[in-house]
Structure 1
Amino acid sequence: MRNNMKNRKYFYPLIIGIMTALLTFTGCSNYNDSNTETMQQDVEKSAETDSTSEKFSEAESPEPTITEIDWSDYFGGLNGAAVIYDPTEENYMIYNKELALTQRPPCSTFKIISSLISLESGIINPDDSVRPWSGEIFWNEDWNRDITFSDAFRTSCVWYFRQVTDDIGKEKMQAELNKLKYGNCDISDWKGTLNTNSDNPALTGFWIESSLKISPKEQVEVMERIFGNDSTYTEKTQNILKQVMLVTEPNVTDIPVYGKTGLGAAENIVVDAWFTGFAETIDGNKYFCVYLGQSDEQETSSAIAKQIAIQILNDNF
């Protein structure tokens, strides 16, 4: 637009000059200096309008509002935070704002992202997604077998997604995280050597108590970028993700809830517990995240984070 403005600056005066010369040469007595001045004013007015339009188009849309809400009763004394984003109202409902803005390792909630990237790029074919078990005995019995994508997601099979992540590769992973604005976007500890709770390369990665970090509010923003109206991801990919993220426990939810838990430990102590995703309501999607930090006096788990999230959603939507 600025180039067009620059061209008009020189183009209109040239036209005015040519028209004035032609009309004078043909003896047009009705065309005088007053006409020239009027045309010049019209040109300047047009330029001013274009300038205003340019400023308007470049102006950023208003930031969503933040409403702080006391949801402490749901947490029962646990150290935690909750964020729900309502796109219709362009409003964040936040409990414990300080913790909601604090970045922590995403742990297994990151399986949403690795699934998204691998489904979109064809690394995972849902119809032929079995990966063979190495024979190594893992602490989770559900992982000790050949396993499909959907089962790996629902059982949060780390070795499966460790392989998927390596198939995606560093370059593509970094580009996709930058696109999603995923927390600090730091995948520098690719193998997860910073993880003090495990030194098994099949069970570690940059997303498990390592270099990658994200806040509960950022988790919600990423969910909206994936499943919102402005998503750049295919409907097919979104629908496959929804299938594996659906909370199907009977009599648990009054509305469809899609999410993923995550749990991180350091020196065998739970330090991060997550449940993030979205709920389908009659007023549209509501994007949510519940996070629980380390608690010395009470049990902390991703199952509790999930329970808290579902209760808040059921009671408020």
Structure 2
Amino acid sequence: MLRICLLLLSLGSILLLGATPAALITERNFQPHFDRYGVTGSILLFEEATGQYVAYNLKRCRQGFLPASTFKIPNTLIGLQTGALPDTATICKWDGVKRYFPQWNQDMSYAQALRVSCVPCYQQLARRVGVKPYQQWLRKLAYGRMDVTPQNLDTFWLDGNSRITQFEQVEFLRRLHAEKLPVAGQHQRAVKRVLQLQKMPEYTLYGKTGWRFRSATNPDNAWFVGWVDRADGRTVYVVLNIEPQSGPANEQFIGARRAITEAVLRELKWL
């Protein structure tokens, strides 16, 4: 009996030593920043050094949404890794169809297509990648719960059943930042270069916006996902998701994604 008790105590000690403490989540009220732009939503930040989250509207941070153009990050990685995209300098040929966003109506590199969120370019890429490679690589990347079928191959990130939460976006960005995704390091570095938005002496801001356009069954829904690398070596990841408080999206809504994110980062002294 004594020997069994000692064995149980020993196993318990091993389990305790190997246990990972739950992440600390601090909830903050950033609603005034959202009100300023007439939107509702949530924002989630994670500081790498401390392992601590800061969240506004925590329940919503755990809710899944279509990734919209934030999916261009894993989409580019998958394209590069599978060879469907030779490199980010590869030119996407304009198909001649004039669309609402004039910046889309031209030939452009995939680096530029990512920056201006050119949906038609990434739909061309999706058709080159194919259903099975997406299904395989999305599992490897652990990127939310994407629903890819032959019927939705070039729209699955924009409409349908695909979902990703803000917590899942943060975890994906952490692995990209650390180059720990199961993708060649050179491809991860290439994507990170394209994501750079602003470089200052004190910090560098990386990010990507996304916008799921309003439809008969879905409201406008938009993202900002990214991170800040401070000159002192600290890193914070930030993921915002918003919807209009009422009515359809407008120009203010488009600008709100980055503006609210930067306002919160400034309030928390990251910018």
Same fold flag (TM > 0.5): yes
Q: Once the 2 structures are TM-superposed, how far is the Cα of residue 229 of structure 1 from its aligned partner? A: 6.4
User: Is the 8 Å Cα contact of residues 275 and 302 (structure 1) preserved in structure 2?
Assistant: no
Q: What does residue 257 of structure 1 align with?
A: 205
Q: Which amino acid aligns with 1:168?
A: V
Determine which of 91, 112, 123 is the counterpart of 1:130.
Answer: 91
Q: What does residue 161 of structure 2 align with?
A: 211
Highest RCO, 1 vs 2 (Cα 8 Å, sep ≥ 6): 2
Q: Which amino acid aligns with 1:275?
A: F
Task: State the TM-score, normalized to the length of structure 1.
Answer: 0.72
User: Is the 8 Å Cα contact of residues 189 and 205 (structure 1) preserved in structure 2?
Assistant: no
Structure having the higher Rg: 1
Q: Once the 2 structures are TM-superposed, how far is the Cα of residue 270 of structure 1 from its aligned partner? A: 5.3
* SS of equivalent to 1:211: coil
User: Is the 8 Å Cα contact of residues 48 and 236 (structure 2) preserved in structure 1?
Assistant: yes
Q: Once the 2 structures are TM-superposed, how far is the Cα of residue 301 of structure 1 from its aligned partner? A: 2.6
Q: Which amino acid aligns with 1:112?
A: I
Gapped regions of structure 1 (runs ≥ 5): 1-40, 193-203
Identity of aligned residues (%): 24
1:143 aligns with 2:104: yes
1:74 aligns with 2:38: no
* SS of equivalent to 1:278: strand
Q: What does residue 154 of structure 1 align with?
A: 115
Q: Once the 2 structures are TM-superposed, how far is the Cα of residue 127 of structure 1 from its aligned partner? A: 6.5
Determine which of 238, 245, 256 is the counterpart of 1:288.
Answer: 238
Determine which of 43, 48, 59 is the counterpart of 1:87.
Answer: 48
Q: Name the CA shift for 1:59/1:302 in 2 (closer, same or farther; >3 Å).
A: farther
Tell me the distance in 2 between the aligned counterparts of 1:229 and 1:123. 21
Task: State the TM-score, normalized to the length of structure 2.
Answer: 0.83
Q: What does residue 224 of structure 1 align with?
A: 174
Q: Please say which of residues 177-186 and 62-71 is displaced more in the overlay.
A: 177-186
Tell me the distance in 1 between the aligned counterparts of 2:67 and 2:139. 16
* SS of equivalent to 1:88: coil
Instruction: Write 1 or 2 for the structure with the bigger share of strand.
Output: 2
Instruction: Write 1 or 2 for the structure with the bigger share of helix.
Output: 1
Q: Which amino acid aligns with 1:242?
A: K
Q: Please say which of residues 137-146 and 83-92 is displaced more in the overlay.
A: 137-146
Gapped regions of structure 2 (runs ≥ 5): none
Q: What does residue 124 of structure 2 align with?
A: 163
Q: Give the paired residue count.
A: 261
Determine which of 62, 65, 73 is the counterpart of 2:24.
Answer: 65
Q: Once the 2 structures are TM-superposed, how far is the Cα of residue 288 of structure 1 from its aligned partner? A: 0.9
Q: Which amino acid aligns with 1:137?
A: K
RMSD: 3.1
Q: What does residue 69 of structure 2 align with?
A: 108
1:308 aligns with 2:260: yes
Tell me the distance in 1 between the aligned counterparts of 2:104 and 2:97. 9
User: Is the 8 Å Cα contact of residues 223 and 277 (structure 1) preserved in structure 2?
Assistant: yes
